[in-house]
Structure 1
Amino acid sequence: MQQIFVNEGPVDNNFIITGEDMHHLVRVVRLKRGEIIRVSVATGVNFLCEVSDITDDSLIATVKEEVPSTELSNKIYLFQALPKGDKMETIIEKSVELGVYEIIPVEMKNCIVKLDDKKKKSKLTRYQTIAATAAKQSKRSIIPQVHDVMSYKAAFEYAKNLDILLLPYESKNGMKDTFDVLSTIKEGQSIGVFIGPEGGFDQSEIDLVKDSCNIISLGRRILRTETAAICTLSMLMLKCEV
């Protein structure tokens, strides 16, 4: 089933779809009258709609029924250190599938990648497109936002307003700390997750956040940065899915 995202709700029980979405559905997918699509409004409300009419420049989708949200009960913010190569694209795709709410790329001291302003802008456009595609594929109710690249200090300031902060690192009690923290998470709480770069967190970065973050373990093995992100979000999805 095809899915699209729109900004406004239906008018007289109909969505009028134009532009790129119309072109994709009609010219690429070749939808016909009578077929069903899923339409998600920016507020997170979802509808199953029947294609009732197709014109030269629009597609009319008539609401058949409202369907439940696919969002987690908690908003999860991923603060991801910039990785090398195309790993960030994989992290964005998989984290959107796992239910992340926002993704914040972060420059940390041991990041191998250093982006200038021009590259940051082009990367952001690409990243947001990947998030939108992953949201459609996984039938999300919203498209998670990918932020501009932040410095580590700016990211921490942004995260301070969240209810719970998690940082996978060397946890003195191993997985017990992880289980203990996960058990305290309540429905509706916002959660920030800091994932370090290939070179690991600098000690100064740990010192900055250690009084505010819950330091957790992801097991005895050393995980790649992209694996650490997916692992942490998987554990949170298991806890937060209701």
Structure 2
Amino acid sequence: MGVGNNMSAVLNFIALLASIPIISAGVWLASKPDNECIHNFRWHVLVLGLLVLLISLAGFVGAYWNKQGLLAFYLCCMAILISLLLFLLVFSFVVTRPDGTYHVPGRGFKESMLVGFSPWLRNHVFTASSTTSWNKITTCLAHSYVCIKLTQDYASADHFFNSSNISPLQSGCCKPPTSCGYNYVNPILWINPVNPMVDPDCYLWSNDQSQLCYNCNACKAGLLGNLREEWRKANIILTVAVVVLIWVYLIACSAFKNAQTEDLFRRYKRGWV
């Protein structure tokens, strides 16, 4: 195995390692309750990570056993995968840039406004035929541990109100909006206030554990807030992985060219012997 192929094998092994954080980010995103209930966003990163792993493995085999055709296949496919990852990164950065969450006075957690998120994100999750889609999402959320977990984590009102660990999804779906003035009993049980309520979400709140605020706009906003937070975190990992893959790819192209030159030179020498 020539120097060029040695270099290619090492680089492909690095690319193979770079696929691990991509796969991990994909698994992490897919395991989140909101992504479990919205299948549109669930598997993209994981599938791309697995493809990077398989193509890197093919490139490693091609370099180690000097299979130039397999190396050329690796370079072609990796260029496509890097382009897809770059597109996904740029697109997700753009659509998750608007932040509809806001601080509530006297509360450690944030609440969310639906209009504060990007139009694409709102339209893609809540389509024109969103009644059926949202019903499926709320059913999925009601069967998850999202709200039940609050009763396990917060035993007192002070602990609950001062917590900064409550997710936008929990804040929007598991309790009534703070502006409604409901009285706290526990994180998912609240008493109607005496004062008149302005926000329509206030009238949609129910102490029925299968309903809570799942039909509120605040819940939809909380869902988008969760998606935004998770994708922004995943993008940090993906950015590092893509930078490594681009660096590896550029050097691999040079190593492949050098290997081709070495092979041509050896053939040329044999022709003179």
- TM-score in same-fold range (> 0.5): no
In terms of fraction of residues, the more helix-rich structure is 2
In terms of fraction of residues, the more strand-rich structure is 1
- Report the TM-score, using the length of structure 1 for normalisation: 0.22
Q: Please tell me whether Structure 1 or Structure 2 has the larger radius of gyration of its CA atoms.
A: 2
- Report the TM-score, using the length of structure 2 for normalisation: 0.20
